Structure 1
């Protein structure tokens, strides 16, 4: 009986011990305030134990800090960490760190050192609700997996500011300012991942950096609902496989996305809009294979999407609208499938380089094609599919590729007449792709609610009407000039004949 009581007492004592001891060893909260040197923050980090929280109150803290243990560093009132233009402002070397609520600025400018506002060397960290400005790289993940980067704003140094700053420098030996080195030396990526996998990057805003988010040998990452504007490539993959991105908006860049030398990338419900320039694209597929593009919007770009040496990709259920060229399909790409997309109001729906379509590229799958707003066929059996195939390409767009100046007459009566004549009496062999099952009605595509069409956008039909008006005005001016010239000639002839002077 006594042994039973002893056992009960033992287990009760053990329970109380295990319950009370953790309470006495709970995580501490430290505070830093007043601004000044960042050494005050580094000192608090040195005193903190893993699991502790450090509150840093508003003010400007100059210097660099290193976080090498699992603590939460929380900014209260958006304190500023200013690196003073040297190295990395914040280095995170311990796993399980939370870094939240800071303005981080003033990293170094050495590209060879990849100077960054925040550099991560570890795993399982959460970086959120920060603002990073005037850094070479916003964030740099160096072999750093399983991190979450959320709700951060990253602003690079705008080109205009770089130009103004470069003019303040002394002139070089040739009498010119070092503008190009200034641009190159002060332009890193918003977020750069090197050999960093299984990271979540969501709801960040990035502007005025070199590339928005750059993946280099970085696999299996998720990129969700970010907004990137005014950079070179908004989303750039190099040798990075099995990545997924969804709901991102990329506007006013050289390219909305550029998957290169990568495989099995899936992107859904993104918006690539107003990416304009001589070599601008909504998405550039370059040596990119086995990818899926589904439910995306390609709007108002110079080229909606360009495929170069890319194979076995599926392009499905996307809206491709109001681009100069909807799809630019280089013949080096093959076995790509385009189905259930809406091609609407593009100046040229599909362009082919070198006069060939490319082996294995098809515009339908299992009896279902795409919607083309310039399809002129009928659906007599009312099954939702046109009775005759849709053939991409016409004589006018063919000539437009050969001589870009011809675009002046786009959508004009002359262009329509030329197209009609070529259909009736084909004399020029034009590369065409066939959609054997064109859809009569557009496919339902859900568009990201945060994307709004700019009011100053002009449809291609209006552009065509404008071209016609300019043509008429040019004709009137020419006729007027010839009229004046003919009157002058008549007066000279009369004078020579001794008539009216």
Structure 2
């Protein structure tokens, strides 16, 4: 009797749970092909039930698609969805959907309408994977769709002026999302706004305005991304607990900006093992950290070959720079408006940073210089206070001012910073140790000519 009772209860529970399921456990597969019988993806979507798979054969489909039920759309042999240059090409409005293996092209061009290649609207838990987007205004727009995965897509925007472009990926009120292994180019920004607990990993973002444009999103992690050849590599604002590991910010040189990465009102940042190279400004700090009990920890990074390594707004405090390598930046550290830095750390536990312009020595071979590193260039102090003087950086004027400060200590400035335990060995990656900035072929030819022509002339004269 007892056994029968438990079997009865179990059966009721199974039936109840099965009835509560919104999406069937096993859906059917609907095939779309240019040869029919179903020739339209929209027709297949309309006839499908939640949980079905739509398999789309290779070909070009001139249509704009709205997915309003949970479906798995899979492309076979790279089918092309062409929106014809109008509106949004694919809009997904159902959670838990999948879009994989398509080329999406031909969105509209109206910024006011936010015309998009792939739009997710209240479609949390969706997977967008292995798609190729071309000639789209906005690439992938994730709106109110938490726990989405955007992985392995290639996105190239419309080849128009920067002011006319949309964002490659835009994340809007979509926390818990993962953006992984995407290649994004010729766009405006990669935007993350009001989306916490996200992972951004293994992406390449180039030829845009902001490689990363970020606001009011907490507890996020950025790993192994490349932000290069943008106006700004990344600019992050008004957020807490942001982690950067193993990223590369390279050759971001917008006029008047050109930051590898910029922080504004950021708290509890951890930045480690990043390469910040050949930007106008490597790291820009503005009111970061914001909270009085917060510290930002910046360690084990290579900050190399930038016009300015790190730029501080005045009165910035509570940033700990430990065991970084400052290599051949034209100016290692800038204080905008001039003055000295106070309340920041440049060494910890008897170890500081590597400075390529350090002129001290390591007597006992422990890798730490015997005298502190000080940043006290008179000319740098002048250009910090008057940026318009920067045009003289490589001129004889700069050298003359430095010589004057050595000859007349009365005009020598106070140090901007002091690193008590400078390291004498850098952490430069092996592929960069051969030299600094890449030597262009034209410059190489000119340099060789300047050396060889006098030698040839000298040989000619001697023969006579």
TM-score bin (small chain): 0.7 to 0.9
What is the CA distance between 1:239 and its match in structure 2? 1.7
2:329 to 329, 346, 366: 346
Aligned to 1:265: 242
Q: 1:415 to 1:356 in 2, by over 3 A?
A: closer
Q: Distance in 1 between matches of 2:194 and 2:39?
A: 35
Aligned to 2:417: 433
What do the CA deviations read for 1:227-259 (whole angstroms, capped 9, x no partner)? 011000101101222211110001111111111
Aligned to 2:169: 191
TM alignment of 1:260-299, pairs within 5 A: 260-278=237-255, 279-299=257-277
TM alignment of 1:129-140, pairs within 5 A: 129-140=130-141
What do the CA deviations read for 1:361-414 (whole angstroms, capped 9, x no partner)? 22122322101111111222333221111012412433455422322337xxx8
Aligned to 1:237: 214
What is the CA distance between 1:453 and its match in structure 2? 9.8
Q: Distance in 2 between matches of 1:452 and 1:439?
A: 17
Q: Distance in 1 between matches of 2:85 and 2:347?
A: 55
Aligned to 1:205: 183
1:457 to 415, 430, 438: 438
Aligned to 1:57: 57
Say whether the 8 Å CA contact 2:341–2:416 is kept in structure 1: no
What is the CA distance between 1:58 and its match in structure 2? 1.3
- SS in structure 1 opposite 2:214? strand
What is the CA distance between 1:198 and its match in structure 2? 0.4
What is the CA distance between 1:343 and its match in structure 2? 0.6
Q: Distance in 2 between matches of 1:83 and 1:332?
A: 52
Aligned to 1:363: 346
Q: Distance in 2 between matches of 1:285 and 1:293?
A: 11
Q: Distance in 2 between matches of 1:84 and 1:58?
A: 18
What is the CA distance between 1:97 and its match in structure 2? 0.8
Aligned to 2:426: 442
Aligned to 2:90: 90
What do the CA deviations read for 1:446-484 (whole angstroms, capped 9, x no partner)? 68x9x999997249xx99x97xx89xx9xxxxxxxxxxx
2:314 pairs with 1:331: yes
Say whether the 8 Å CA contact 2:78–2:102 is kept in structure 1: yes
TM alignment of 1:463-478, pairs within 5 A: none
- SS in structure 2 opposite 1:427? helix
Q: Distance in 2 between matches of 1:49 and 1:71?
A: 8
Q: 1:216 to 1:390 in 2, by over 3 A?
A: same
- SS in structure 2 opposite 1:287? strand
Q: 1:35 to 1:354 in 2, by over 3 A?
A: farther
Say whether the 8 Å CA contact 1:35–1:61 is kept in structure 2: no
Say whether the 8 Å CA contact 2:230–2:253 is kept in structure 1: yes
Say whether the 8 Å CA contact 2:341–2:417 is kept in structure 1: no
Say whether the 8 Å CA contact 1:38–1:63 is kept in structure 2: no
What is the CA distance between 1:296 and its match in structure 2? 0.3
What do the CA deviations read for 1:106-161 (whole angstroms, capped 9, x no partner)? 223333332211111211111011011122210111111001100101101224xx
Say whether the 8 Å CA contact 2:126–2:149 is kept in structure 1: yes
Say whether the 8 Å CA contact 1:67–1:93 is kept in structure 2: yes
Q: 1:132 to 1:424 in 2, by over 3 A?
A: same
Gaps of 5+ in 1: 19-23, 163-182, 474-501
Q: Give the count of matched residue pairs.
A: 426
Range that drifts further, 335-344 or 36-45: 36-45
Aligned to 2:100: 100
CA RMSD for the aligned pairs?
A: 3.5
Report the TM-score when normalising by structure 1: 0.77
Q: 1:426 to 1:363 in 2, by over 3 A?
A: same
Gaps of 5+ in 2: 16-23, 290-294, 455-464
Q: Distance in 1 between matches of 2:203 and 2:188?
A: 16
Q: Distance in 1 between matches of 2:329 and 2:36?
A: 57
Q: Distance in 2 between matches of 1:200 and 1:138?
A: 16
- SS in structure 2 opposite 1:255? coil
Select the structure of larger CA radius of gyration: 1
Bigger helix share: 1
Aligned to 2:124: 123
What is the CA distance between 1:105 and its match in structure 2? 1.5
What is the CA distance between 1:25 and its match in structure 2? 8.1
Q: 1:197 to 1:51 in 2, by over 3 A?
A: same
What is the CA distance between 1:224 and its match in structure 2? 0.2
- SS in structure 2 opposite 1:49? coil
